[in-house]
Structure 1
Amino acid sequence: MTTASGGMTTEQLREHVATTLTRGRERTAALIEVEPDELTAQHSTLMSPLVWDYAHIGNQEELWLVRDVGGRDPVRQDIDQMYDAFLNTRASRVALPLLDPTEARDYVRTVRDKVFEVLERSPLAGRRLEEGGFAFGMVAQHEQQHAETMLATHQLRAGAAVLHAPRPPAAVVRLAPEVVVPAGEFVMGTSTEPWALDNERPAHTRNVDGFAIDTAPVTNGRWLQFLLDGGYDRPELWTTVGWAHRVQAGLTAPEFWQLDGDAWSRRAFGVLEPLVDDEPVVHVCFHEAQAYARWAGRRLPTEVEWEKAARHDPATGRSRRWPWGDEDPTAEHANLGQRHLRPAPVGAYPAGASALGVHQLAGDVWEWCDSGFTPHPGFEVFPYEEYSKVFFGGDYAVLRGGSFGTDEVAARGTFRNWDHPVRRQIFTGLRTARDLTAAERG
């Protein structure tokens, strides 16, 4: 499709919604195919028990699609507060009287059956919540976001591997170090993408000074050079806040890296293996990313710069839905959707390059931007404040682009993510940028 609902008949849109919901549920079901005690355990205080995430997914479906869109009686109104993410911190959820794995599966299945009945009757038009299938798209994105969170929980769990996937494709092109993005205006955000969330809206024009940006994300090999050059022991490379965190948290390498003799390895989903030099580094926090950028004589891009590099087409002056164009991603474009359980080597997806020639801006690793999470000019809450508004202006840094664990429904070129600067259990990496010299500016 060219837009989330553009050009489709109502029946085609209905089929698209059903396919998208089913894809998410198949993924979620695979993530809970572990022993019952693994589902109810808290593998890290940063994360919920897997069974909480699973039932929460069902509860959100019930609230928005069964009760609101469908106007139907509640399935389990008695559990609403228990699965409210704002009422219960992740660390406290393990102590709640949660639905056990069997009850959770039954509940989620019952809700989904009712959702498909509602989908068959919804006009997918008229009411803003239903226009273009928005409510269904919002719920599909919510499930996929929690699926990625559950994938991060799997990375944190101890024990042998329970998830398996083929390795990503090898690099097929050699990339130049950086791309120069010329100064000028571009359109940021969207007013036309039917499933875009409120923080992506509205489209607005931004004027951006010229800058240079890495052609690809920073790799393990480059990060190892930073580490071996004392990057974690040089306070001058870190901000004051960043250095305080490095000391307090005892950071000495990206999370899940291990030193075995003279060689570094990385543990991924229960498997310990040598570092792959040309894969993007993953599991680094914002403070580490800033320190690396300073060591490299560069800086992190702002969110505006990142989106211009990803979406702006200088030939037409318009902004694309995805770096490569308006068509939805395929396996040739990007490493998305948990197709693989690791980032792909840089140069593996030439078909996914942006119009400006920047590679791997979708998938592989979420990329830290040197911007706080703020609303676009003209922002309006829709359909509820707790998705975006309550986070604006807090202690958050923006993340863009998606990871290998992000589904395409939650990774378009306008999609915005955010987290605390200290977080690194998520699939985070970076690329760096720099200001242009006077000669380059002309």
Structure 2
Amino acid sequence: MTSTEDRLLGPEQVREKVAEQLRRSRARSDALTAAVDDDDLVRQHSKLMSPLVWDLAHIGNQEELWLVRDVGGREPVREDIDQLYDAFQHARANRPSLPLLSPVEARRYVREVRDKVFDVLETSPLEGRRLVEQGFAFGMIVQHEQQHDETMLATHQLRVGAPVLRAPDPAPATRPVKREVFVPAGPFTMGTSTEPWALDNERPAHRVHVDAFYLDTVPVSNGEYLDFIAAGGYDQPRWWSEVGWAHRQRAELFAPRFWERDGDGWVRTRFGVVEPVPVDEPVVHVCFHEAAAYAKWAGKRLPTEPEWEKAARFDPATGRSRRYPWGDEDPGPEHANLGQRHLRPAPVGSYPLGESALGARQLVGDVWEWVDSDFRPYPGFAAFPYREYSEVFFGGDYKMLRGGSFGTDASAVRGTFRNWDHPIRRQIFSGFRCARDASPAEAR
């Protein structure tokens, strides 16, 4: 374990960390955009997603706005394109019709911006202003790029054509796990006031009471979800909320997205590869309504956001909340399936070294997990450094997702990290695990 003070870095250490993270995130962006030709880069593969070339130039534009102009106080590189790459001004469905930078222009632009950012990084004092303390603005941009890299990875999943991405498969799970873990009643510290690169919706740290409950040790698997389908789960409104059932009918849902019947079995398409559905992997590409219906069919429910975070972070031996389920050290390949290292979730029961203090596994990585909470601010929330990151989304039609996926980078997920999306979304790498209330006898 390390204290918050131990994790605070001096200016030169911050510079080294930021430079490494900037290079790593750009290498991923380059790989995702170099994997396809220019026609694919400008094409819209789904109205839910931007063309890949828009994401690339948007990454550069945000970097220019915050690091070149604000932190660095430099002259604009391309002030004329700000409006084109403002996500709030143009819906994704409309972005292909905009006069976007070509792939050649976009690559040139992001290189020019990055060169200036490294100059800013070398000269910034990294202190005296909240925006730059511990390299926050640089960390915000690193996370922004990695978040868009995951979005681009989701676009690759929606792309039709021959496979273009390659990665080794994760190792098989080595040992079975118990079905549930017990989370005791009581308060815990949710959120953070000390994590240097935590975003505004993760703040501030505050005490939350959670009643005793049981949580599935691992995410729901494809094999378990197949049982729900075989039992007629998609055909019986009793398992669905009223809103969920209306959506199931309207969208004609019958299985997770990218699944198709193949005789008596099922196949899925994964980054252009058609393969039998692997029964031992966490189910992925399900919406909130599907997750909630499965949980009800199974005699359980989805956990709330405070329940999920307590199960992930609370250490009953010390009474404190960890940074990650396994402790305070940054994620390594032994802890979780992150960073597009594999192009699929690892089998359920994997990563015993990533286990939480309470015994749950795979709470970070593999699949984003739907939880039954709306996107709300924490008590004492203050928007920083701009309202549009979180505040404008509060109170909307959003459900929370926690924990990250195989496509999430370690820099863009932690025990306090909060993600949100509309409850009908399935193109994201979303799965879930179930919870249930503890009986009075069990809660003792």
TM norm. shorter chain > 0.5: yes
Correspondence for 1:435: 437
The alignment's C-alpha RMSD in Å is 1.0
- In the aligned structure 1, how far is the partner of 2:186 from the partner of 2:138? 37
Residues 81-124 of structure 1: per-residue CA shift (max 9 Å, x gap): 00000000000000000000000000000000000000001111
Tell me, yes or no, if the aligned pair for 1:332 and 1:349 is still in contact at 8 Å.
Answer: yes
CA distance, structure 1, for counterparts of residue 384 and residue 436 of structure 2: 36
Please state how far the C-alpha of 1:2 moved relative to its aligned partner.
Answer: 6.6
Which residue of structure 2 lines up, in the alignment, with residue 271 of structure 1? Answer: 273
Aligned to 2:177: 175
The amino acid across from 2:23 in the alignment is T
Distance of 2:361 and 2:268 partners within structure 1: 24
Distance 2:27 2:220 in 1: 32
Stretches (4+) displaced over 6 A: none
Map of 2:12 onto structure 1? 11
Alpha-carbon separation, structure 2, partners of 1:77 and 1:10 = 30
Q: Give the letter for the 2:349 counterpart.
A: G
What is the aligned partner in structure 2 of residue 380 from structure 1? 382
Output the TM-score relative to the length of structure 2.
0.98
| SS of 1:434 mapped into structure 2 | strand
C-alpha distance after superposition, 1:21-48 (max 9, x if no partner): 1111000000001100000000000000
Q: For 2:416 and 2:56, locate their aligned partners in 1 and report how far apart those are by CA, in whole Å.
A: 27
Q: Give unmatched runs, 5+ long, in structure 1.
A: none
1:144-293 alignment runs, 5 A limit: 144-293=146-295
For residue 270 of structure 1, report the CA deviation from its aligned partner.
0.1
Residue-by-residue CA offset, 1:367-388 (whole Å, 9 max, x unaligned): 0000000000100010000000
Q: CA deviation at 1:6?
A: 2.5
Q: Is the 8 A contact 2:8 2:134 kept in 1?
A: no
Residue identity opposite 1:19 in structure 2: E
1:141 is aligned to 143
SS at match of 1:110: helix
Q: Secondary structure at the match of 2:372?
A: strand
Match of 1:296 among 298, 302, 318: 298
Cα pair distance change 1:388/1:70, threshold 3 Å: same
Note the residue ranges of structure 2 that are not aligned, 5 or more in a row. Answer: none
- Which string of whole-angstrom CA distances, capped at 9 and with x for unpartnered residues, describes residues 353-400 of structure 1? 000000000000000000000000100010000000000010000000
| Contact 2:212–2:443 (CA under 8 A) maintained in structure 1 | yes
- Report the alpha carbon displacement of residue 441 of structure 1 after superposing the two structures with TM: 1.8
In the TM superposition, 1:52-91 aligns within 5 A as 52-91=54-93
Q: How far does residue 258 in structure 1 lie from its aligned partner after superposition?
A: 1.1
Taking structure 1 as the reference length, the TM-score comes to: 0.99
Distance 1:201 1:18, change over 3 A: same
Letter in 2 for 1:430: F
Q: Contact 1:218–1:430 (CA<8 Å) still a contact in 2?
A: yes
Identity level (%): 70
CA contact (8 A) 2:336 2:351 kept: yes
Residues 5 and 194 of structure 1 are in contact (CA less than 8 Å); yes or no, is this contact kept in structure 2? Answer: no
- For the residue of structure 1 that corresponds to 2:141, the secondary structure is helix
1:25 is matched with which residue? 26
- One-letter amino acid matched to 1:23: R
Count of matched residue positions in the alignment of Structure 1 and Structure 2: 442
Of 389, 394, 406, the residue aligned with 1:392 is 394
Structure 2: which amino acid aligns with 1:396? Y
Which letter maps to 1:12?
Answer: Q
